């Protein structure tokens, strides 16, 4: 009888422990939920953009012709305001960025006329130029360091004048050439970027002196440009 009582007591205790364990398993967990993290968006240079720029340009070329009365006459060099608009597209792969950009600029880069006499004969300094360039470089997050080069065109306004012996000439026509340069661009926000850029531009300028091909006429239109710009990048 005693052994039966002990067996009944042991069986009752086992049932109580099992029931308590099952009930505890049904209770809600008291562990804290896993923390949730919102990943910050990664900036990319990929996309279309457009903007404005302004800066300074100066002549570095040599413009001259031969005058029978006064000998070789050289044109003046000067500089002035440069400003305009640009648009382009970038594509980023890893740290590298490649793209294409075009711009159109007003350019008062100084008189390049080579004519003897007063300013009236020398022409004027107003003109324009544009470029179609490739850009390629390395991006360090929001900073982009690049080189650029391609085609250039325009009329910088100095290729005109008058000589009493050789006659009148004018350079009011678009000439083609090339350009090389580089710059640094920084993303101020996800949409706005600012840049500083330098370019060297060489235009194949022509002349139409009647005797131009026989008296060593040279209309060398070369100039440098330093400009700052602001772009809006379309998402």
- Tens-place pLDDT, residues 169-180: 555 567 889 999
CA Rg value for the chain: 37
Question: With pLDDT > 90 as the criterion, what percentage of the chain qualifies?
Answer: 44
As a whole number of angstroms, the distance between CA 142 and CA 145 comes to 10
Q: Which residues of the chain have pLDDT under 70?
A: 1-41, 61-77, 110-125, 157-173, 205-220
Q: Whole-prediction pTM value?
A: 0.70
Tell which CATH classification among 2.40.160.20, 3.40.462.20, 3.30.365.10, 3.50.50.60 matches the domain 47-233.
2.40.160.20
Phi-psi region at 166: left, alpha or beta (left = phi > 0; alpha = psi -120 to 50) = alpha
> Where in the chain are the domains?
47-233
Contacts of 211 (CB under 8 A, 6+ apart): 166, 167
Listing DSSP states for 91-103 in one string gives EEETTEEEEEEEE
Q: What is the pLDDT of residue 233?
A: 96
Terminus-to-terminus CA distance in the chain, angstroms? 88
């Amino acid at each position: 009888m005693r052994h039966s009582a002990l067996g009944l007591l042991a069986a009752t205790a086992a049932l109580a422990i099992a029931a308590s364990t099952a009930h505890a398993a049904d209770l809600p967990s008291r562990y804290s939920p896993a923390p949730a993290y919102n990943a910050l968006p990664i900036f990319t240079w990929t996309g279309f953009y457009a903007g404005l720029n302004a800066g300074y340009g100066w002549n570095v070329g040599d413009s001259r012709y031969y005058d029978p009365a006064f000998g070789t006459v050289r044109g003046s060099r000067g500089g002035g305001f440069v400003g305009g608009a640009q648009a382009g597209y970038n594509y980023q792969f890893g740290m590298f960025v490649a793209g294409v950009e075009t711009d159109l600029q007003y350019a008062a880069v100084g008189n390049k006329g080579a004519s003897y006499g007063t300013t009236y004969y020398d022409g004027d300094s107003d003109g324009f130029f544009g470029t179609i360039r490739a850009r390629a470089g390395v991006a360090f997050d929001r900073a982009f360091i690049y080189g650029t080069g391609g085609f250039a065109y325009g009329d910088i306004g100095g290729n005109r004048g008058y000589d009493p012996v050789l006659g009148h000439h004018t350079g009011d026509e678009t000439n083609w050439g090339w350009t090389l340069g580089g710059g640094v661009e920084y993303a101020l926000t996800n949409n706005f970027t600012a840049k500083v850029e330098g370019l060297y531009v060489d235009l194949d300028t022509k002349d139409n002196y009647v005797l131009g091909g026989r008296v060593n006429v040279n209309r060398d239109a070369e100039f440098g440009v330093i400009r700052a710009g602001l772009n809006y990048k379309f998402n």
